[in-house]
Chain A
Amino acid sequence: MDTEKNPNVSLSRLLELVETSTLSSIKGTVGGILSLISDPAARSSDLIRLIELDPPLTAKILRVANSSYYATSKTISDIQQALIWIGFDTLKEIILTQKMSELYRGGTPACGYSRLQLWRHSLGVALLAKTIYRREFGEKGNNAYAAGLMHDIGVIVEDQLLHREFIHLVRILEDTPQQLTDGEISCFGYDHGLVGKGLAENWNFPAELIDGIGFHHNPEGAREEHRLFVKAIFIADYLMFEQGYGYVAIPLPDREILQQYVRDLGLQWYALRAIIEIVREDLGKIEQKGYLIA
């Protein structure tokens, strides 16, 4: 497959291209939100200041906050009200989701791949990872949500900036079933984990998130202190693919790895099944309300 390699665009070149492309338009707001998410002492005034820097964002936030998905039985007409009714954490999630969704607009579906499918997959992984943290570990799971939402950001970078080669790869995957990462390495010389990791580092994302994005296909490569977190993202990614929330035609990796990570996290299958049901329901609601694409 050597002839299909793209020697012109090395990983570092690709990361340079990101900075001059429209992808970088989300950098400021996303970076700001991520540091608010990982800072337990963050103040609501910081959040409000951040929103004020991006005027179209306020209207979008209010539209989502008033959608029946959040069912507050209450018309929310300003950010302060949103803060009280849907909470600081949810508000941060809405903003992150809104900004990230901008990257997944447009594009034409090809061979079972589409940006919409990739976005749907990302939302699913975010919700599943967060719900595992909330319901099983009794933690807020904001970081898990962020990592789930952004874990495949490398794929959208490839789609946007190496579009022709990427669509070519998607075709190859359909004809010769293999892991996406293997296909990427033979086509580009790197995979979307590495691309995402590079972007996350350049944009100064929190360390846990860098590992979550970079190692979601091989959690063992992550730093020791983040390994369990990355395994949770791996589990959510695997299960969403299995549940039909994938975005490209690939075989699922060895199930024994999944079983091992489920054990490592001390999770029970009946508890996971209950969580998957909740997430499926949530996603169904989101799709129904047309909140999927902003």
Chain B
Amino acid sequence: MSCSEADLQQRIQRIQELETEVRHLGNELRLTREEYEDATSKYLDIYCNLEKKIGERTRELDAVNGKLVQEIEERKRTEAEKEQLIIHLQKAMQEVKVLSGFLPICASCKKIRDDSGYWSQIEEYISKHSSALFSHGICPDCVKKLYPDFHEEMQRRTKK
């Protein structure tokens, strides 16, 4: 197996792992949400029973009720946080996919075409789809082409 093939295999494996993770977390989230809804209905069940049992002790009942409603609100907040996490992961997953597929690149100016057919500079594209940052410099070949005088000067200096 050539080096790049091994590399490709590794990437495919990593994507499978990430996809599994997202799918697993999605299932967990859905089940947790269902369980939460179930807990809410179970609470109503307790509440109704409580009401039957101690119909005359209304004030106490209100206190218990208030406490439980507060609990449910708190639980709701925790669920919302979990959902945010999954959305975040799903987004990350998509980005991984964008960067791991084939990139149509212009053979001459090296611009990259995105899904909507728009051609953008390679730095713009990569920055948008990854966390890589660009720091601009200039390579020796381009110095020769763009600044011939400067290049000659540099050559002379290094010879000395």
Contacts and interface: CB of A to CB of B under 8 A. Distances in A.
Contacts of B8: none
A274 interface: yes
A20 interface: no
A45 interface: yes
B35 to A, nearest CB: 4
Interface stretch (A83-91, A143-151, A219-227, A245-253): A83-91
Nearest to B27: A138
Interface string A73-100: 0100000110111011110000000000
A207 interface: no
Interface in B33-80: 34-36, 38-40, 42-43, 45-46, 49, 68, 71-72, 74-75
A83 B43 contact: yes
A139 B27 CA distance: 8
Interface string A51-83: 000000000000000000000001000001101
B43 A138 contact: no
Interface in A130-165: 134-136, 138-140
Interface string B13-36: 100110011011001101100111
Contacts of B34: 140
A43 interface: yes
A257 interface: no
Nearest to A138: B27
Given A270-B17, A274-B21, A88 B42 contact: yes
Contacts of B27: 134-136, 138
A44 interface: yes
B39 A84 contact: yes
Contacts of B31: 134, 138-140
Of B17, B20, B43, the most chain A CB neighbours within 10 A belong to B20
Contacts of A84: 39-40, 42-43, 68, 71-72, 75
A21 B77 CA distance: 48
A271 interface: yes
Nearest to A81: B71
A139 B30 CA distance: 10
A268 B35 CA distance: 27
B38 A271 contact: no
A134 B46 contact: no
A141 B21 CA distance: 18
A274 B17 contact: yes
A134 B28 CA distance: 7
Nearest to B13: A270
A77 B56 CA distance: 24
A42 to B, nearest CB: 10
A85 B13 CA distance: 37
A268 B75 CA distance: 34
A180 to B, nearest CB: 32
A87 B46 contact: no
Contacts of A136: 24, 27
Interface string B62-100: 000000100110110000000000000000000000000
B93 to A, nearest CB: 14
Given A87-B38, A270-B13, A80 B46 contact: yes
A240 B154 CA distance: 68
5 contacts: A81-B68, A88-B39, A134-B31, A135-B27, A135-B28
Q: Which 3 A-B pairs rank lowest in CB-CB distance, beginning with the nearest?
A: A135-B24, A44-B42, A138-B27
